[in-house]
Structure 1
Amino acid sequence: MTTSPLPIQTARAEDFDEMGRLLNLLFHHGLEPEAHETERAIFEPERGLLIRDGTELVATAAAFTRALGVPGGSVPAAHVSMVGVAPTHRRRGLLNALMRRQLRDIRQAGEPVAVLWASEGRIYPRFGYGLAAQRLQITGDTNELRLPAPTGDEGRLRLDRPTERLADLARIHDRVGADRPGWSARDDRWWRYVLVDPESQRDGATERRVVLHEGPDGVDGYGLFRTKAQWEGTGPRGLTTVDEVVTSSAAGYRAIWRMLLSIDLARRVSFLRAAVDEPLLRLVDEPRRLGPQLVDALWVRLVDVPAALAARRYATDVDVVVEVTDDLLPENTGRWRLQGGPKTASCVPATGPADLACDVRCLGELFLGGTGLTTLADTGRLRELRPGALAHAGPAFGWHRAPSALEVF
């Protein structure tokens, strides 16, 4: 194991402000007191790691304890965040030492999976993280977008402040998220983190609002959004920024988007965390006018390979032996027999020959069901050792919904 030239310490609660100052410097943020306090509420000091040079804090990493949605269920996952190294101490092996220590700590904590958002995609593959979920960034001109006319009763919409309807938001999020790989569980602390809305961070826009859809059985959908005024010589060019649209009914989804795309004086819409299978692209008459741009979202690292593979479900029955290599956690290296299907799964050491071979990064890319085995085989990073193994196992690793991610943590 690579060790840091400077000692790694476990954080204390009183280190949070100093960590925040370093991270604000690294990510070019100003200090916003209200947001800072919501971040303090989710901080878990015992999961924070620090490196000091004398008394100066020069590197940090942390993790949050949350459940992550996976195909067919959820799994305890370390949500890695607050990672950074001071510009005065780059290229000294500090990040390498922190990430290796953190992976060991996560495994000892019994979490089979780690997940993160990457500031730059090239950073984390060397630590075994694979790109498991992507997102669409949508920016469109609402004058160029039309939805089908309502057919029958599509329910009722109401506007409110999100904090006033937290119980409805949480209930809908939990219901819909149970069938969406990549969504993270939200308790009260995390809802406060998601909904914090300091005026200094609005960039001239309104406060965040929620539109709720009421169907025959009550509230079954919501959309979080804000608007910003802008005028040009030709008239209004306001912007509607959408944070989340979460519904359990097709009628609710259509009704919410119909409103969001027709707000008076708003001519543009921005939705930066749309799912790759976002239904909106199949509703509007000119999907290219949404300008969808595919970018990365969640990076996943299998910390305990057999436990992780047994924790998810598989779209079709599968029985395959995978030879795995893991340079950082050698406990994962070896041949593993995966047997599973839509209802159950198991993964145990195998004695027979392997059908497929890959490194642990590939397993992270496959884990949420958004990447195909044949795609990875075409890169050369996953190898078919038994003819027909790809055709057999490939459909099993997929899922009926693409993975997505709602909030950056």
Structure 2
Amino acid sequence: MEYRALEESDLDRWRELEGYAFSTNPSREALSPEKLGRLRGLFVDGTQAAQLELIPLLLETGRGQIAAAGIGSVASAPESRRRGHVAALMRHSCDELRERGVPLAVLHPFKRAFYGRYGWATFMERRVYAGPPASFASFRPAAGGFHAAGPAQIADFDAIYRSALRGRFGPTVRDEGWWRDQVLTDWGGKPYSAYIWRDEGGNPRSYIIYRIKDAPGGRRLECQDIVARDPTARAQLFAFFAGHADQVAQVQFKTPADAPVNLLMPDPLDCTVEPHFMLRLVDVAAALAGYGFPKDIAGRLRIGVGDDWITEHNAVFELDLAGGRAEVRRLPADSAADISCDVRVLAQIYSRYLRPRTAAAFGMLAAASRESLDLAERAFAGLAPFSADFF
């Protein structure tokens, strides 16, 4: 087997496998050097048997930012499946990320159990709210107004986005290209409708990016991204929904798992919870060293980790916490640990999807003492993780 970056001569095979796996018709246009540089393949006897894309990301941690890679477009040849090729491809990609100093890998799975066996774990959920525009009739317009927006207003979109999602783990740090190609347009390059609400002083305080689609029961206003900096700005988004009562039968939008939208509604909206991205700690020590801890936390915490795929993680990681950072040392696996868990559980605690006390209560984490568990609880405290992006 050979793992390597793809070359121009490999792209016909890339498109073949991509189209087969995702039932699409990939463009025959030349790829940009940046895109081509992200493609990886696993070759067996000289034939491209599996492939993926490594997307460079910078994620907000709630108290800083950390490098990550999004893993997308994972595909394998139908004639060579069930032979461990995707597992080998994923392992090689993780080894590459470790060598490059990228401690986290994020993906959206076709099947969670498949990636779970390789150490990925669901690390965020999103609430999906839906209801008729009439449900929002109690929300009234405030002084100010909505203004159509697009690429020329990326700086305003980004200011709202960063302010509203401050403190959460998981939001993608969006550069201009990401806003233009991943948020304001769909994968086919078609622009979404987008509006920014500005107060009477002209300050951008909320935005909505959406498309009106045909759906069973009538047309639906489906949000791609919806963000508000404060309660007044949020109410204006709801008033915007109400203004579509004669155009759509339903609106749908997604929020962080801890957003209590129905507490604001006279009658509750339909609400479901969907699992979103999965996270893999590719390099535990680097992930912990790059994490922003609460600045008022000081102390020593030893975390015992079990990892049946990246065996270098089978160790105890000693964290000396001070000033919002951790000095991390790897100790032998038989060293005394304050808390111990599987690498998947650690990823969920790390992202603040799972509280240490909850993990202990459900038998997913062992704690040497209440004091140790309390320190872990305070060290990994924060808002629920969230990302509106998809890849």
TM-score over 0.5 for the pair: yes
User: 1:262-310 CA distances to partner (integer Å, 9 max, x unpaired)?
Assistant: 3132120122x421123533322223x2x22112112111122122112
Q: Is the 8 A contact 1:137 1:293 kept in 2?
A: yes
Matched to 2:290, the amino acid is A
1:81: Cα distance to partner?
Answer: 1.2
The amino acid that maps onto 1:159 is A
1:223 matched to 2:208? The reply is yes
Q: Map 1:251-330; keep pairs closer than 5 Å.
A: 251-263=232-244, 264-271=246-253, 273-278=254-259, 280-287=261-268, 289=269, 291-315=270-294, 317=297, 319-330=300-311
Q: Is the 8 A contact 1:313 1:340 kept in 2?
A: no
2:33 and 2:293 mapped to 1: Cα distance? 33
Contact 1:59–1:83 under 8 Å retained in 2: yes
Name the CA shift for 1:230/1:311 in 2 (closer, same or farther; >3 Å).
closer
Note if contact 2:136-2:241 (Cα within 8 Å) is conserved in structure 1.
Answer: no
Call closer, same or farther: CA 1:58–1:238 in 2, change over 3 Å.
same
> Is the CA contact 1:339–1:345 (under 8 Å) kept in the aligned structure 2?
yes
Q: 1:3 maps to what in 2?
A: none
Unaligned 5+ residue runs, structure 1? 1-5
Q: 1:158 aligns with which of 128, 147, 153?
A: 147
CA distance, structure 2, for counterparts of residue 92 and residue 199 of structure 1:
31
Deviation (angstroms), 1:42: 8.7
Contact 1:73/1:178 (<8 A) preserved? no
What is the match of residue 387 of structure 2? 405
Q: Quote the residue 2:336 is aligned against.
A: 353
Q: Would the alpha carbon gap of residues 304 and 229 (structure 1) be closer, same or farther in structure 2, given more than 3 Å must change?
A: closer
Say whether residues 1:210 and 2:194 are aligned partners.
yes
The number of equivalent residue pairs is 385
- 2-structure distance, mates of 1:14, 1:140: 50
SS at match of 1:292: strand
Instruction: From 65, 73, 84, give the equivalent of 1:74.
Output: 65
SS across alignment from 2:251: strand
Aligned-partner Cα distance in 2 for 1:349–1:168: 43
Report the CA distance shift for 1:261/1:368 in structure 2 as closer, same or farther (over 3 A). farther
Distance apart, 1:350 and its partner CA: 4.8
Q: 1:226 and 1:42 mapped to 2: Cα distance?
A: 31
Cα deviation for residue 193 of structure 1 reads 2.2
| More displaced stretch, 51-60 vs 102-111 | 51-60
Residues 94-139 of structure 1 deviation map (CA, whole Å, 9 limit, x = unaligned): 0110111111100000011111111211121221112111112223
C-alpha spacing 1:141/1:88, structure 2 compared with 1 (3 Å)? farther
The residue correspondences of 1:137-156 to structure 2 (distance < 5 A) are 137-149=128-140, 153-156=142-145
Alpha-carbon distance between aligned partners in 2 of 1:187 and 1:60, rounded to the nearest angstrom: 26
Q: Secondary structure at the match of 1:314?
A: coil
Normalising by the residue count of structure 2, what TM-score does the alignment of the two structures yield? 0.87
Native 8 Å contact 1:44 1:63 kept in 2: no
CA distance in structure 2 between the partners assigned to 1:41 and 1:147 by the alignment: 49
Is residue 52 of structure 2 the alignment partner of residue 61 of structure 1?
yes
SS of 1:389's equivalent in the other structure is helix
Q: Does structure 2 retain, via aligned residues, the 8 Å contact 1:130–1:363?
A: no
1:6-405 alignment runs, 5 A limit = 6-13=1-8, 15-16=10-11, 18-31=13-26, 40-41=31-32, 44-52=35-43, 57-149=48-140, 153-160=142-149, 162-195=150-183, 197=185, 208-215=192-199, 216=201, 218-228=203-213, 237-263=218-244, 264-271=246-253, 273-278=254-259, 280-287=261-268, 289=269, 291-315=270-294, 317=297, 319-340=300-321, 343-350=324-331, 353-399=336-382, 401-405=383-387
**Mind listing any 5+ residue stretches in structure 2 that lack a counterpart?**
none
The 2-side partners of 1:325 and 1:364 are apart by 12
Q: Report the CA distance between 1:333 and its aligned residue.
A: 2.2
TM-score of the superposition, structure 1-length normalised?
0.83
Query: Taking every aligned residue pair, what percent have the same amino acid on both sides?
Result: 23
Q: Partner letter of residue 90 of structure 1?
A: R
Letter in 1 for 2:248: A
After superposing on structure 2, the runs of 4+ consecutive aligned residues of structure 1 that deviate more than 6 Å are: 198-202
Which whole-Å CA distance do the structure 2 matches of 1:320 and 1:199 have between them?
44
Q: Contact conserved, 1:226 with 1:242, CA < 8 A, in 2?
A: yes
Aligned AA for 1:375? T
Asked whether the 8 Å contact 1:373–1:390 carries over to 2, the reply is yes
Shift of 1:47: 4.1
- Structure 1 contact 71–312 (Cα < 8 Å) conserved: no
1:202-221: CA deviation from partner (whole Å, max 9, x where unpaired): 8xxxx621111112362232
Q: For 2:161 and 2:33, how far apart are their aligned partners in 1? A: 19
Q: Distance in 1 between matches of 2:107 and 2:221?
A: 28
Could you tell which deviates more after superposition, 44-53 or 215-224? 44-53
More off after superposition, 296-305 vs 165-174:
165-174
Mapped to 1, the partners of 2:98 and 2:273 lie a distance apart of: 32
Distance change >3 Å, CA 101–CA 167, structure 1 → 2: same
